[in-house]
Amino acid sequence: MMTCHEAEDVPHEECGVFGVYAPGEVASKLTYYGMFALQHRGQESAGMAVSDGNRIMVFKDMGLVSQVFNEPTLNSLPGSLAIGHTRYSTTGASVWQNAQPLFRSIGGRGFAIAHNGNLTNTDDLEALLIARVGAQGEVPRKQSMDSTNDTALVAAMMASWDEGQGVEQIAMEVLPQLVGAFSLVFMSENSLYAARDPQGVRPLVLGRLERGWVVASETAALDIVGATFVREVEPGEFIAIDAGGLRSRFFAEARPKGCLFEYVYLARPDTRIAGRAVQPTRFQIGRRLAIESPADGDLVIPVPDSGTPAALGYARESGIPYAMGLVKNAYVGRTFIQPTQTIRQLGIRLKLNPLREVIEGQRLVVVDDSIVRGNTQRALIRMLREAGAAEVHVRISSPPVEWPCFYGIDFATRAELIAPGLTTDEIAKAIGADSLGYVSLDGLIDSVGLPADALCSACFDGRYPIRIPCSAAARLGVPQEAS
């Protein structure tokens, strides 16, 4: 059993990271394309840091990639080395200061860093940092409006190390002290670095350009910049890329616990994680859902886009015809990752519109990827009934989400979730469905095709594989497995 240290609940975020080292190429434009491919992982802010070999320039702002960057901006960021970041915040402040990458100085040299994930030992790290720099030094407090993300804490720790050490040496000192989920990309004026936590909770991949290298949160970002997939960055691995080539070393023993929810919802369908293509995996989950939770219906319709592969699988297995009963407005972002409940509730009507000609008088089997708070499904079912649906049977391609995530997904508190304490029939009644069915956890894991002990399923079963803040563990009454 893992020991648990007192700590407050920490901010949660799901982001996209990208890094490129490509001599002779315009790194800012490659990063721009890569960030576009990762826009689904964060829609509040976007930023990049670019080096021309002598200095690092950082440009970031609130908004989508296309809102933050334009051609003149990209042309003003020369260099062949860059990192990029797309972010959304939850309990962390949605302000410019929290946009990434963050810039610091190490021994008089520039340093920029971007992070996807969530650290769970920030109080321990703050205490360590205070011991290093003194009480009056730079310690990014979680309650401070200018640094509510733990990336600032990692950057401050890196910057606090001895000036005589290089970034690689410092990284090998700092990385073993981080607990939680982290996929990091960072850079000096002449080198690109990447690191992944020992459990590999969040994805991070390595790609090869004709004259360089790329690291990114998902393989889809490699595709868009013309990079060839090489491999995943291994859990516990640190990578350095510079004029001398690529070097790899491990700062911790690998104990894989990849996030199961990446396969259900977070990742793009054209991405591969741990050797598994996401689109056919979601199709297989839909087939398993049809076996485990059949429904009498006239049409299977997806909640686009993330519910579409599973709906196709459900229709194939059940023999019920598949139809597009909902039209999606492609210019509205994901409702799940919007920062406020008001926007979430407004977002569903902006995002989806029912096709009355398709659904009127029909018994619908509506396939979606998950139910988190229940507001999206409640509003959706109301719209479908207003459009003339005779019955609405909801089928979900993941188990009930019953526990908050401390590793980087927007499940801030258990009280926000609809599933805890309710039966499936009670949830169906709460959202207004005629029936409700979920795929089982075993069925989901079988469909993914990886060993259960190599996956994190904490949001479904409450078994947290990495230490979480002790105050949260005590409040939730959850066990923590040794790692």
Query: Would you please indicate which residues are annotated as catalytic (active-site) residues?
Result: 15
Measuring CA to CA, which residue among 287, 243, 261 is closest to residue 408? 261
Surface-to-core class of residue 173, CB atoms within 10 Å of its CB (0-12 exposed, 13-18 middle, 19+ buried): middle
Which residue is associated with the tokens 């509205």?
332
Which residue is associated with the tokens 């310690």?
139
Total residues found in the chain within this entry = 483
Which residue is associated with the tokens 């089982």?
440
3-state secondary structure of 109: strand
Please give the structure tokens belonging to residue 185: 């990309």
Q: Which residues are annotated as a binding site for [4Fe-4S] cluster?
A: 259, 405, 456, 459
Residues near 451 by beta carbon (within 8 Å), at least 6 away in sequence:
none
Q: Which residues are annotated as a binding site for Mg(2+)?
A: 306, 368-369
Distance CA(203)–CA(126), nearest Å, equals 26
Residues near 185 by beta carbon (within 8 Å), at least 6 away in sequence:
17, 18, 19, 83, 113, 114, 192, 193, 194, 215
Surface-to-core class of residue 162, CB atoms within 10 Å of its CB (0-12 exposed, 13-18 middle, 19+ buried): exposed
Q: Report residue 207: phi and psi, to 5°.
A: -130, 160
Q: Which residues are annotated as a binding site?
A: 259, 306, 368-369, 405, 456, 459
Instruction: State how far Cα 134 lies from the chain centre.
Output: 34
Distance CA(354)–CA(229), nearest Å, equals 39
